[in-house]
Structure 1
Amino acid sequence: MLSRTEKNFPKYLDEVRGNAQGAGLPFETLFVNDLLMEIYFYFSQKPPQATKEDLGCSTVYINRPDVKVIGHNEDGEDLARTLGYVIDATITGGDGVEEKFTSLCYPGGLPGVSMGYNHHGMIFSVNGLAGPTIDKAAPADFVLREVLRASNIDEVKNIVSNAGFGVSSGFNINVGSIVDTSTQWSVEVAPDVSESKVSIKEIHESDDPEKSTYYHMNEYRHLDIEVETAARSKGRLERALSLPVPTCAKDARNILGDTDDTTFPIYRSVRPSDEYATVCTGMFDLLNKRFDIYFDNPSGDTGPLLPFSIQCEA
């Protein structure tokens, strides 16, 4: 995996080396930290080994003429609630700015694997997907890191296809833009060796609440691939579909904060039946160019802890 990443993503491997040096940790420790999906679902030969049920994240899309929102629950280990962080990075090259983005990060991990936005006005959030894991392709976290460079949906597709290398584990990226707000995109990616399998569903602007709304949890919804859906993900999706169709940001927050299904709640907490929790909730408001992060249940009256203004500088 290291040799393949050296060939495919040398710049981002340098980022891992720099982080390791700054943290005073072995490079191998942080590199392995960026291979968690591959380790959980492929390389781990003895317990505890992750299952499809451990995957997290729930996303609500609303694309109406007057409301354009993508809300996202970031589910993961509860420790990330206190140890996670947001970075605001500007990376310059010989001819000026190469990359500029803001991204929520897991401790010691590459940016791009959770949610954030860049200076092209593109916004992203990620849902893990359990498909067939492949050990002869590029690590998923490095592909997701590359996505932070994208200036439009075509570039997103080219990046996740990763021609010549493919990707080792699956994921879904929820994509929007403050430049082109007419469409939102759900990008599903399945592992393959030489080039990833990619499906893009477009959520178009509509006055019809049913047509303007979409949900994504941890299952393949539109890419043609035979994978068993986890009961926890299926339960969250069924619960979201049973609720009134959202038409505003508050409605989306209410869905993401829903706990009425005590077995598979959309807003998760650590319990005997669930080792993962909703670490935080991100709300992207494309019309008002805002990204707000909530650390309490977003359906309550408490406002966001971290508000950001999304600027398009390209």
Structure 2
Amino acid sequence: MGSCTGVESDRLEIFEVGPCKNAYEMGLLIGQRFSKLIKSRVARDLILQNQLRPFAHTTTPQSESLLKSLFDNNREKFPRYWDELLGTAQGSGVPLLDILLINFRKEILAFIPKEGAKSSDVDTSDDCSDVLVVGESMTIAAHNEDANIALVGHTYLIKGILQDGSFFVGYTYAGELPSGAFGFNSHGLAFTLNSVPPVEDEIVAGGIGRNFISRDILEATSIDDAMKKINSSEVSAGHSYNLMETTTRRIFNVETASRKRVSVYEVGETPFFHANMYLHLHINQVQDENSISRQKRASVLAKVSKEDFLSLLGDTDDEKYPIYMTGPLLHTLCTAIVDLDEQTLSIIAGNPKNGDVSHVFSISPKKAQ
């Protein structure tokens, strides 16, 4: 059922799984294959250990009611993906609660008191930078996947084959649903993600989790279908989606927030840089110095050629808040380049300026086998 198609780089393994008889089996095979990595991630994840677990284990009315509504609402809306997580927990031998807590990290952390949290526990686990353009000479989305140091070496690629023969490929954090980062599918649809920080009173307890929505987008049949999936989910926290489609050669940035607020911006000939802040959805947001700094730096860098895009994402000019991150807390794990004219998604290891491509995937639409 599950088969591994080989290790193509030191770190990033691709596991081909499916078609499976059900979602639980898909999760089970993923959990078994990456059990060691998932256990290692859970053992190193200070946010899980010092914030999420204590919150879940202190049986206050607030924690019980938040977790119950979060789990019930997501299980009801996405029973298949819920079953996938049940399988992942079973297959990996990691307690189900830990698997759920890391998948709902953003939706829970907003409700945990911040007093006394050490800097290593602060949730900075998915800052990212994207630069996008739809021009005459090139149509490209370039994405830095930035994460907390605990996640370095704790990612893999899942190629999930569905029962109708269609498939998706998602860059996946150990123990989480594919994909909290970027992915594509056999319908010629690709996406990258940026987290955005609404202030606390903009976050609704018990809403739909971002990991579940992005897992659903991996099965979208078109950019319109992906938009419908985003629009139909009453999210808890906000998120930013960069959606791209080979058949129409279009790229959209979609910013979302709770209470079904969505803003759509179509990328054109002017290169569009997106860090971790809302740019066009009007919402109260946390002032993130890191994002503001990256946004300012990107505005002055050249953005004419693909090489310029890679150079921008590899920029380390600002010592405190570089676009390409090498620690101590945040690391750029890899860079993904989606080229809609070449119809490829490439993954670059190390600084993208050096162009060390570890994987290239064709993202042209494939017929079901």
In 2, the alpha carbon distance for the partners of 1:190 and 1:223 equals 8
Q: Could you say which residue in structure 2 is the equivalent of 1:161?
A: 231
Instruction: Say if 2:304 is the partner of 1:247.
Output: yes
Cα distance, 1:55 vs. partner?
5.0
* Superposition misfits of 4+ residues, deviation over 4 angstroms: 48-55
Instruction: Say if 2:194 is the partner of 1:137.
Output: no
Q: Is the 8 A contact 1:75 1:276 kept in 2?
A: yes
Q: Could you say which residue in structure 1 is the equivalent of 2:89?
A: 20
**Of 79-88 and 47-56, the range deviating more from structure 2:** 47-56
Q: Could you say which residue in structure 1 is the equivalent of 2:167?
A: 100
Instruction: Say if 2:278 is the partner of 1:220.
Output: yes
The count of residues paired between Structure 1 and Structure 2 equals 293
1:3-23, Cα deviation, whole Å (9 max, x unpaired): 111211100001001111111
Instruction: Say if 2:298 is the partner of 1:234.
Output: no
Letter in structure 1 aligned against 2:91 = G
**Of 151-160 and 101-110, the range deviating more from structure 2:** 151-160
After TM superposition, the score normalised by the length of structure 1 is 0.88
Instruction: Say if 2:186 is the partner of 1:186.
Output: no
1:27-77, Cα deviation, whole Å (9 max, x unpaired): 222111101112322245652486686651000012111211100000102
- Asked which structure has the greater CA Rg, the reply is 2
In 1, the alpha carbon distance for the partners of 2:255 and 2:122 equals 19
1:219-269, Cα deviation, whole Å (9 max, x unpaired): 11011212233111000010000112x122111000000000112100011
In 2, the alpha carbon distance for the partners of 1:234 and 1:29 equals 33
Cα 1:86–1:53, aligned 2, differ >3 Å: closer, same or farther? closer
Of 113, 123, 141, which residue of structure 1 is paired with 2:180?
113
Q: Is the 8 A contact 1:60 1:214 kept in 2?
A: yes
Letter in structure 1 aligned against 2:239 = F
Cα distance, 1:108 vs. partner?
0.7
In 2, the alpha carbon distance for the partners of 1:138 and 1:148 equals 16
Q: Could you say which residue in structure 1 is the equivalent of 2:364?
A: 311
1:88-147, Cα deviation, whole Å (9 max, x unpaired): 11121xxx24x5100100011111210010111011000001113221311221112111
Instruction: Say if 2:240 is the partner of 1:172.
Output: yes
Instruction: Say if 2:141 is the partner of 1:87.
Output: no
Of 86, 93, 99, which residue of structure 2 is paired with 1:30?
99
After TM superposition, the score normalised by the length of structure 2 is 0.75
Q: Could you say which residue in structure 1 is the equivalent of 2:132?
A: 61
Unaligned runs of 5+ in 2: 1-69
Q: Is the 8 A contact 1:68 1:285 kept in 2?
A: yes
Cα 1:291–1:248, aligned 2, differ >3 Å: closer, same or farther? same
| Higher RCO (Cα < 8 Å, 6 or more apart) | 1
Instruction: Say if 2:190 is the partner of 1:123.
Output: yes
In 2, the alpha carbon distance for the partners of 1:83 and 1:243 equals 32
Unaligned runs of 5+ in 1: none
Determine which structure has the larger helix proportion and give its number. Answer: 2
In 1, the alpha carbon distance for the partners of 2:286 and 2:277 equals 8
Q: Could you say which residue in structure 1 is the equivalent of 2:25?
A: none
Structure 2 residue matching 1:239: 3-state secondary structure: helix
In 1, the alpha carbon distance for the partners of 2:127 and 2:221 equals 27
Of 322, 326, 330, which residue of structure 2 is paired with 1:276?
330
Please provide the CA RMSD for this pair: 1.8
In 2, the alpha carbon distance for the partners of 1:228 and 1:88 equals 35
In 2, the alpha carbon distance for the partners of 1:45 and 1:225 equals 22
Q: Is the 8 A contact 2:124 2:148 kept in 1?
A: no
